[in-house]
Amino acid sequence: MFETIRKVLKSVREYKIFAIITPLFMIGEAAVECALPFVMSLFVDTIEEVQSIGELVPWFIIIIAMTIFSIVCGILGGRFASFASCGFAKNLRNDLYKKVESFSFENIDHFHASSLVTRMTTDVNNAQMSFAMVVRIVIRAPLMLIFSAVMAFVTGGNMAWIFVAAIPAIGIIFFIIAKFAMDIFRRVFKRYDAMNESVQENVAGMRVVKSFVREGYEDEKFSTTSSNLSKDFIKAEKIVALMTPAMNTTIHVVYLITMFVAGELIFNTASAVMDPESGAYKYTFQDLSVSQMSALLTYGIQILMAIMMISMVVTTLILSLESIRRIAEVLDEEPTIQNPENPVMEVADGSVIFDHVSFKYKKEAERFAVSDLDFTIKSGEFIGIIGSTGSGKSTLVNLISRLYDTTTGHVLVSGHDVKEYDLKTLRDSVAVVLQKNFLFSGTVRSNMQWGDPDASDEEILRAIEIAQIPDVIHHYAEGLDHAVEQGGANFSGGQKQRLCIARAILKKPKILILDDSTSAVDTKTDRLIRNSLKNDLPSMTKIVIAQRISSIEDADQIIVLDNGQINAIGTHEQLLKTNEIYHEVYQSQTQKGGN
């Protein structure tokens, strides 16, 4: 547990100085606050003896100076505490972000994206809050407790035992309340995670929700989650709300007892002497004076307050431990895919070899997503991959750009195992147009420049031509400056796919992978894209995953995947003659009118 906290605390870094000076100011504040009641009681005693108000001026100055000192310490302490905690949170968020950026797909699968978001926001906030509290109170409260207790004994003698007796009482009340509240708070955090996940999913999938007219259902689901959350919160808050009255009652009881005992003591031991001149009585106290009693009561309250603060810090800490644990979990995660030590910095050509490759997404999974893949692709070839959904097509191509590492076997690109390459070099040379493609908000040009930041307009237009969308771009008055909305929402599916292909071409990759990325493009345009890829970029290896046989029939080799395994490899003519699956798919597609 301490190891976890230490790990997270490493992010304090340059803000450490603030975390150290805050308690110093808090000590100043606490020292003065403890000395003040004592000085006040001396002051009250002096009042009885002075002849003129002028004699009291030094007292005023001392008391005002002490008060100002305490206030200044308090303000500075609070300010440095926020510097420290905000800086800590900033660093922690940055550290988390950097870590997540280094994650492979496997790491992200492990956490789920939405949980990573919660960890970087809510959990960091919790850590920040408890950090601020700790630097402010962790030294101050125990010091207050010790100072006040000592001073209580100094002023009140044995009377101070009353407070000592009250300490466990308060502690017990607090911990019982905190224990109940904490259990509920833990549950609340879990529900929060679930709610975040569902909000994220819904907002991301808003179009689908709307198109299936599922708003009502989703609304209901959300409001159930939300009202469960609020019920739990109310329950927890109700318990927490008991805290103040319970504390107040205890304090008042202690007050009453002190007053009663003190009153008795004063009454029994004081003696009155008549002043013969004025005839007035003058009191002398033996064991306890009235001014001492009032100081004693103040110390009593300070002791109880200190206990309350300590308990509060402990509760906050325990509550945020869960958050801290979740943050540390992310920081502790080792990126499963890392750069090798002496990486190969150049991909010479676009040849690919799969050498008995098997892969499963999770170590504990029973089933391999792909198994015993074994084939060779020559540089510049056009390869088609076909197979039903879930047969492992996307998995196969993800292994080429090392989005995942193979479980057994090797993937070689240009003669080297992909694990030997510098990751950036490899991924620059292998361009993948994903099934779920993505455009960023900006302009057509800014999106194209994701492929190559220095691409000239000619190069961009060239790529756009190969991807067969010049008509679309020319149609817009702004041309390349035409706006792209978030997620490319203002383009049709087919247009988006073609823009993504153009973007990938701009990377000038050695290997271009199209993962079902012409599915929304009509058959004729699809053929035009393939022809221009073949003719204009002959040295680039092209791997095309497709549902339609027409998209891959002129490939040099076609790989038929079935259930994660290679069912057959061959040309269109060979497969049509010899492979049952291929034949069947071909027939079904031609009968439906060349779908």
- By the criterion CB under 6 A, which residues form the site for ligand ADP? 109, 361, 369, 387, 389-395
CB of 197 to ligand ADP, least distance (A): 16
Residue 518 touching Mg ion (CB under 5 A): no
The residue at minimum Cβ distance from Mg ion is 394
CB of 393 to Mg ion, least distance (A): 5
510: helix, strand or coil: coil
Of the pair 115, 311, the CB lying nearest ligand ADP is at 115
Q: Which of Mg ion, ligand ADP, none does residue 541 bind (CB under 5 to 8 Å by kind)?
A: none
Of the pair 394, 447, the CB lying nearest Mg ion is at 394
CB of 446 to ligand ADP, least distance (A): 29
Q: Which of ligand ADP, Mg ion, none does residue 395 bind (CB under 5 to 8 Å by kind)?
A: ligand ADP
Q: Which of Mg ion, ligand ADP, none does residue 342 bind (CB under 5 to 8 Å by kind)?
A: none
175 phi and psi angles, rounded to 5 deg:
-70, -35
Of the pair 285, 361, the CB lying nearest ligand ADP is at 361
Alpha-carbon gap, residue 206 to 79, rounded angstroms: 43
* Cross-strand partners of 432: 513
Q: Spell out a b/e string for 190-211, using b for 16 or more CB atoms within 10 Å of the CB, else e.
A: ebbbebbbbebebeeeeeebee
Pairing of strands 511-515, 541-545: parallel
With contacts defined by CB under 5 A, name the span among 90-98, 344-352, 393-401, 571-579 that binds Mg ion. Answer: 393-401
Neighbour tally for 476: CB within 10 Å: 12
CB of 391 to ligand ADP, least distance (A): 4
CB of 507 to Mg ion, least distance (A): 21
Q: Which of ligand ADP, Mg ion, none does residue 391 bind (CB under 5 to 8 Å by kind)?
A: ligand ADP
Pairing of strands 281-284, 271-274: antiparallel
Q: Sheet harboring 370-377: ordered strands across?
A: 370-377, 352-359, 408-413, 416-417
Of the pair 56, 108, the CB lying nearest ligand ADP is at 108
Of the pair 182, 370, the CB lying nearest ligand ADP is at 370
* # residues contacting Mg ion (CB under 5 A): 1
CB of 208 to ligand ADP, least distance (A): 19
Of the pair 434, 568, the CB lying nearest Mg ion is at 434
How far is residue 70 from each of residues 39, 67, 181, 325, measured CA to CA in Å? 14, 5, 34, 36
Alpha-carbon gap, residue 196 to 326, rounded angstroms: 15
Do the Cβ atoms of 404 and 359 come closer than 8 Å? yes
Q: Which of Mg ion, ligand ADP, none does residue 538 bind (CB under 5 to 8 Å by kind)?
A: none
Of the pair 85, 394, the CB lying nearest Mg ion is at 394
How far is residue 54 from each of residues 41, 304, 432, measured CA to CA in Å? 19, 37, 89
Which spans in 433-515 are helix H? 444-448, 457-466, 470-475, 493-506
CB of 566 to Mg ion, least distance (A): 16
Strand residues in 54-177 grouped as ranges (E): none
For residue 326, the surrounding DSSP H or E stretch is: helix 290-332
CB of 507 to ligand ADP, least distance (A): 22
Task: Please provide the size of the chain in residues.
Answer: 595
Of the pair 232, 516, the CB lying nearest Mg ion is at 516
CB of 511 to ligand ADP, least distance (A): 18
Give the one residue of 298, 394, 541, 551 binding Mg ion; rule: CB under 5 A: 394
Of the pair 105, 217, the CB lying nearest ligand ADP is at 105
Q: Compute the Cα dihedral for 95, 100, 104, 109 and give only its sign.
A: positive
**CA 372 from centre of chain:** 38
Identity of residue 172: I
Of the pair 210, 367, the CB lying nearest ligand ADP is at 367
CB of 112 to ligand ADP, least distance (A): 11
Alpha-carbon gap, residue 71 to 63, rounded angstroms: 12
Alpha-carbon gap, residue 77 to 503, rounded angstroms: 54
CB of 565 to Mg ion, least distance (A): 16
Tokens encoding 458: 């000619």
Of the pair 296, 373, the CB lying nearest ligand ADP is at 373
Q: What is the DSSP code string of 257-287?
A: HHHHHHHHHHHHH-EEEE-TTT--EEEE-SS
The residues that touch Mg ion, with contacts defined as CB under 5 A, are 394
